Amino acid sequence: MYEAREIKGLTRTATGFLWGYMILNAVAQIGSFYTEMVSGRTLGILNPTDYLVLANILVLLVTGIIVLRWVYRASVNAHAAAPDLTITPGWAVGWYFVPIASLWKPFQAMKEIWLGSHYGANWEAGYSSDLLNWWWGLFIVDSFIGNASWRLSVDAPQLSAELGLVDGVITIPLTLILIWIMRQIREAQDVTRHAEVFA
């Protein structure tokens, strides 16, 4: 049996970190692009941009942990309202780390969280926002571009910087959509809590 809890504070924290990551990522990617394409890189010397990139990686890791904690807690709340959801809170997080299945299972989990939060036990008759599709599509594209940029960073640093810049651009709408989704789910869960759906 799942017990629902308020996620307003966790949502505020997670979305705050997402805003911070989005801004830092954009600055770091622009800096890397400038270093590789315009000013040139001095061999053996760390540029200020390198420290930005390291900070960006650290913030990404912390943000990822907080967002996944939010996913777990939001899934628990959704299960409290809709016990027959097919993806458990643990797997709502776990599927992100399973090769191949990570291409669609996390999206399915987030969609169930959305439906369970908005429609409760009638979740199967509900419908989700098209922005969930946009979020997941951008997430997949961003993941592939980010991975390609990282793999090319040694052998083709200029191409890596160009891909990194594209990654930085895609991250902006991706992050904004995720923030909107999280807030909409949190608001829906507040409504269902007040309606004693979670009681």
Q: Is 153 contained in some domain?
A: yes
pLDDT category of residue 2 using cuts at 50, 70 and 90 = confident
In angstroms, rounded to a whole number, what is the distance separating the alpha carbons of residues 123 and 180?
Answer: 20
pLDDT, position 43: 46
pLDDT, position 45: 53
Q: Is 176 contained in some domain?
A: yes
Residue 86 makes CB contacts below 8 A (sequence gap 6+) with 108, 112
Model pTM?
0.89
pLDDT, position 193: 64
pLDDT category of residue 140 using cuts at 50, 70 and 90 = very high
Q: Among 8-12, 50-54, 125-129, 161-165, whose mean pLDDT is lowest?
A: 50-54
Q: Is 67 helix (H, G, I), strand (E, B) or coil?
A: helix
pLDDT at 95 over 70: yes
Q: Which domain range does residue 138 map to?
A: 8-194
pLDDT, position 195: 59
> Which of 160, 144, 179, 143 minimizes the C-alpha distance to 18?
179
Q: Which H or E element spans position 2?
A: none
Q: Among 15-19, 167-171, 193-197, whose mean pLDDT is lowest?
A: 193-197
For tokens 């780390």, name the residue: 97
Q: Is 2 contained in some domain?
A: no
Structure tokens at 132: 């969930």
Q: Is 199 contained in some domain?
A: no
Q: Is 43 contained in some domain?
A: yes
- Count of domains for the chain: 1
Q: Is 82 contained in some domain?
A: yes
Q: Is 150 contained in some domain?
A: yes
Q: Is 97 contained in some domain?
A: yes
